[in-house]
Structure 1
């Protein structure tokens, strides 16, 4: 088997709603460039494949407004502070033009030495749409159709320079061989782009393409274009089914199954003993009033908190229609599976664990490593998109205590053997030769 792939999703102060209240530094993490840089360096020390940055394009009401720095700008700061870790930024195809996306990532490629990845998102939040001039967001089907065309245009722009186009011959007075740079002349349903791109390819040729989503449109987009998929799963059985179906879809699109890595989200809380890990989780819970935790849990599931009795099981009949166009199909399905599997537990117990969109483990480093190995060897995952309860100490604990266990078991690298993000994923990374290679 190929080594396990590990990205870490830097969710400001941490994925737990109480993480930001632990200190003044935590409270300011969402807009502190140093916070992201520190965590990128920790991830690089742990030899992780990449840092992953999600995005929200609107300010929420309430104490957690979703404010955060622009992922592309933040990735640029992290690129300057690291040398090997990959850097994945989310950019919406609903709001941004493909030429802008292609140029921005091509520029970041040179800034980072070929370590970037684009997480393709379609954006499902109506308030974000209103910030970009959409009184109503397009339907899910239209958003994914637009995304597919956008990814096609972006990848063609990245490929608009042939190998050898960058000459840089001072004696001959030729910087670029224009005969090897080609327009793409794209005219589609949503975009008209002539091209070519004005930025040459980086050492890895093009950025890694990442996609997240569980709808049919998301699966089709992933099967056709993605190098890695960030998926929401809560049980090994459901994860194996998703993994198998996605790999089959990849093959049907004429690609090798190993050309796409499936990475379920993993939320973890660590302690030297299980009791210590549980105590850490409870301490974080105590930072958030129970009513706020209940409201967050209900909002994640999509129900009115007034219908929930803390001391009774979750009322499964209150679950919304999974086809709602403005909710995540992947999260909806995972939440439904989680709630049905835990129908015997009270809402209070479920709320203590937090929203049910991703797989959660509270335990020792050995327990976390055991669970990861079971999913990995059992055909449920090629790796994981990690989410610490709180940063930076949660990530430090993973790097210092879980990574060595995975290494001893032969599941994870002991050193970086590539310099680009595509190289970390075992994908072809020299799609275009460097100037030095071409001249020599």
Structure 2
């Protein structure tokens, strides 16, 4: 495919797992071992990413402690005990000025009004830098914390998510931009004509509104979504402004990119108003040899019990204990219909079939980055690959997942970012003051103001 020289600048997000993305990150002597409870750690990482001109800092979330074999879980502390992300990012926003602050919040085990209020508040606290990653829960354990005996079925999760999003977005339009007069001379604080109740009644939710938080400088938080299923892609085409996805080959990334953006016009949307940013586990060194040594060291820290547990999770909980780790997956694995992450299941079973990988080889590949693409090399080599994907319309940018933090993030900033900047592929300064400014996204028009304008 011919390279398009008009692509402009790519976008970069820093996906911060507490101690790092690698499954054994906490064992690395340079990792912040108490990261899940260390606020200053997150502030330091956000400030590092901001100095490097990253678009955003992104945090994942779950609303349950993982279930599983304690022998493995006690050796895999990632996301077992950590901050609630919107609370954390409100603090991070106070010690940064430009970088976006983006968090996951599930539509499966939340209420729309609470989510709308939290993210609208974060958007105001940060001066217009907030983003919401809209997900349906893949963690089956979450159901038991919210009055349910079983997880939602896949189709029901997405039906609920669509209505959930519509309610949240409607609540964000409760106040028009110029609703607050705050005029002491007349004694009028706001214009009653510019306050609107939603009065939503649907299959899953009944929400009157209005929201008791004003509109932010960017209208409302930037909407992100993760997932590559058919319902997920359709939801993204209708609602998302950024998509986080797993990508493995340029050809596959190009097909996903074209498919997703090709769905947008039927919803009256400009394809440029959605940024596709796959996860990238980049392990950078001054030389390829140094980078490979760093990666090999991290891989050597993977405990067998942890590897089996991670792989079992990807295979919808299939118990691998007692099986020959140097043998293939048993045939009955392929008959499973997963209720959690379908993309992880598809990728692992595809690798097993197409490459005849053993159980050990599968968990060594999957566990390190949980299925995300891994690049190991010098700054120049990694930049070459990123440029190829960007210039050939496979991506609009990347969600960088440092293997361990702060060291892995520093390596990427020191070795890769300058290479991208020298090639004119990444900014040397921020374009504006809001996350929308820096992503090149328009400010959404308040629906009530738009109707008044048409009238």
Per the normalisation by structure 2, the TM-score is 0.89
Q: Do structure 1's residue 88 and structure 2's residue 88 form an aligned pair? A: no
| 82-91 vs 196-205, which moves further | 196-205
2:118: which partner in 1?
Answer: 104
| 268-277 vs 391-400, which moves further | 268-277
Of 303, 327, 342, which residue of structure 1 is paired with 2:340? 327
Q: Do structure 1's residue 273 and structure 2's residue 273 form an aligned pair? A: no
Give, in whole Å, the separation in 2 of the partners of 1:416 and 1:33. Answer: 25
| 163-172 vs 411-420, which moves further | 163-172
Give, in whole Å, the separation in 2 of the partners of 1:342 and 1:251. Answer: 38
Give, in whole Å, the separation in 1 of the partners of 2:251 and 2:330. Answer: 20
The answer as to whether partners of 2:329 and 2:352 remain within 8 angstroms in 1 is no
1:15: which partner in 2?
Answer: 21
Shift of 1:216: 1.7
2:35: which partner in 1?
Answer: 29
The answer as to whether partners of 1:263 and 1:382 remain within 8 angstroms in 2 is yes
Shift of 1:281: 1.6
3-state DSSP class of the match of 1:82?
coil
Shift of 1:350: 4.6
The answer as to whether partners of 2:25 and 2:31 remain within 8 angstroms in 1 is no
Of 201, 204, 220, which residue of structure 1 is paired with 2:215? 201
Give, in whole Å, the separation in 2 of the partners of 1:311 and 1:239. Answer: 31
Shift of 1:97: 1.0
1:9-65 residue CA offsets vs partner (Å, 9 max, x unmatched): 111101112111224962211121112111111111111110111012111242224
Per the alignment, do residues 117 and 9 of structure 1 end up closer, same or farther by CA in structure 2, a change over 3 Å counting?
Answer: same
Q: Do structure 1's residue 175 and structure 2's residue 189 form an aligned pair? A: yes
After the TM superposition, which residues 289-328 of structure 1 pair with which residues of structure 2 at under 5 Å, given as runs?
289-302=303-316, 303-306=318-321, 309-311=324-326, 314-315=328-329, 317=331, 319-321=333-335, 323-324=337-338, 326-328=339-341
1:338-390 residue CA offsets vs partner (Å, 9 max, x unmatched): 445543x5554554444352111111111211111111122211111111110
2:144: which partner in 1?
Answer: 130
RMSD: 2.1
Q: Do structure 1's residue 165 and structure 2's residue 165 form an aligned pair? A: no
3-state DSSP class of the match of 1:371?
helix
Shift of 1:301: 4.1
Give, in whole Å, the separation in 2 of the partners of 1:293 and 1:137. Answer: 25
Per the alignment, do residues 322 and 115 of structure 1 end up closer, same or farther by CA in structure 2, a change over 3 Å counting?
Answer: farther
1:247: which partner in 2?
Answer: 261
Per the normalisation by structure 1, the TM-score is 0.91
The answer as to whether partners of 1:234 and 1:334 remain within 8 angstroms in 2 is no
2:50: which partner in 1?
Answer: 44
2:391: which partner in 1?
Answer: 377
Shift of 1:184: 1.2
2:415: which partner in 1?
Answer: 401
3-state DSSP class of the match of 1:210?
strand
Which runs of 5 or more structure 1 residues have no equivalent in the other structure?
A: 433-440
1:292-314 residue CA offsets vs partner (Å, 9 max, x unmatched): 334433433454434864445x5
Give, in whole Å, the separation in 1 of the partners of 2:220 and 2:304. Answer: 46
The answer as to whether partners of 1:108 and 1:116 remain within 8 angstroms in 2 is yes
The answer as to whether partners of 1:322 and 1:333 remain within 8 angstroms in 2 is no
| 314-323 vs 264-273, which moves further | 314-323
| 65-74 vs 111-120, which moves further | 65-74
The answer as to whether partners of 2:246 and 2:372 remain within 8 angstroms in 1 is yes
The answer as to whether partners of 1:56 and 1:68 remain within 8 angstroms in 2 is no
Give, in whole Å, the separation in 1 of the partners of 2:443 and 2:37. Answer: 33
3-state DSSP class of the match of 1:3?
coil
Give, in whole Å, the separation in 2 of the partners of 1:322 and 1:216. Answer: 19
